[in-house]
Amino acid sequence: MSARSDTALAAGDDFNRRLVRLDDGVGAILAAQAAEPEDPLLALYAATVHLYGQQAAANARAGELLAQVAGAPVDLSARDLMMLSALQSICRGRYHVARDRLEAVTVDYPGDLLAAKVCEFAYYLLGQQQSGPRFRAHMQRLAPHFGDDPDLLGMLAFAHELSDDFAEAEAVGLRAIAAESRNPWAEHGLSHALIRQGRAAEGRDRMRAFLPALKTCDPLIFCHDVWHLALLELDLGDVAAARTILFDDVWGDYPGTSAQQVDAISLAWRLEMAGE
């Protein structure tokens, strides 16, 4: 591939860091791609953001960007071609194919944390609970390459929880938070593990304490983690607190993606079952 500009390189690095951490500003890659529309990796990463939106218009835009990358007059690396193929499969709804191709990326490039994170998304699209054991095996394969990396550990903790290994999910989640305290995905995995063990009060207190930091993270994970806080409140019988979270936070200012709308709808349904 021809030499890329310093700004494109910096934007790509920033996107990688923010997506794997679920940090605020992931969407900045869209402006970077618009400023340098000929850069194929910026287009690849912008398409990834659109695919996470799970909306028809966003999916269509992702398809346009991926077609642009496929037709770019440059030589992409083998890794980038594999990522392109995987993202095209997500765009077409072929999630099993995307999963297999993303797993293949991390076989050839075991240090590729972005591919691992996008593969986690593919497991979610396929049904994260049934994908749990495969997700865990994937993260365990990568773990020796990452040591105490907080983002890999956050994914591994969630994979343990989905595989019903709550003790290991908690232990690994706490390791992730020890390595990086501002870790919304590790807190998410802990919330899963604690409520499923009947430790709702502990989970609620953890998530409440994390809220100031959570507000500085990506809106998508902010919405989902406060949704978990609402479930913990409901489990403890505080319907009013859960209702406040629904209107102030889960719906709040961020109703624009399918995932956020699903969180709002499912919380409203739970509130209704609780007598609202």
pLDDT tens string 22-33: 999 999 999 999
How many residues are listed for the chain in this entry? 276
What is the reported pLDDT for 255?
61
pLDDT higher than threshold 70 for residue 254: no
What is the reported pLDDT for 98?
98
For the stretch 88-136, pLDDT in tens is: 999 999 999 999 999 999 999 999 999 999 999 999 999 999 999 999 9
What is the reported pLDDT for 90?
98
Q: What is d(CA 276, CA 268) in angstroms, rounded to the nearest whole number?
A: 9
Give the dihedral sign, CA 147/87/19/268: negative
Q: What is d(CA 38, CA 52) in angstroms, rounded to the nearest whole number?
A: 22
What is the reported pLDDT for 188?
97
Q: Is the pTM of this model over 0.85?
A: yes
Please tell me the least confidently modeled range out of 88-92, 96-100, 203-207, 216-220. 216-220
What is the reported pLDDT for 260?
87
Q: What is d(CA 47, CA 41) in angstroms, rounded to the nearest whole number?
A: 10
Hey, what are 3's tokens? 């030499």
pLDDT exceeding 90 applies to what percent of the chain?
90
Q: How confident is the model at residue 2 (pLDDT cuts 50, 70, 90)?
A: low
Averaged pLDDT, 38-52: 96
Please tell me the least confidently modeled range out of 74-83, 125-134, 250-259. 250-259
CA atoms within 13 A on the CB side of 239: 9
Please tell me the least confidently modeled range out of 66-80, 215-229, 254-268. 254-268
pLDDT higher than threshold 60 for residue 9: yes
Instruction: Write down the mean pLDDT value for the chain.
Output: 95
pLDDT higher than threshold 80 for residue 151: yes
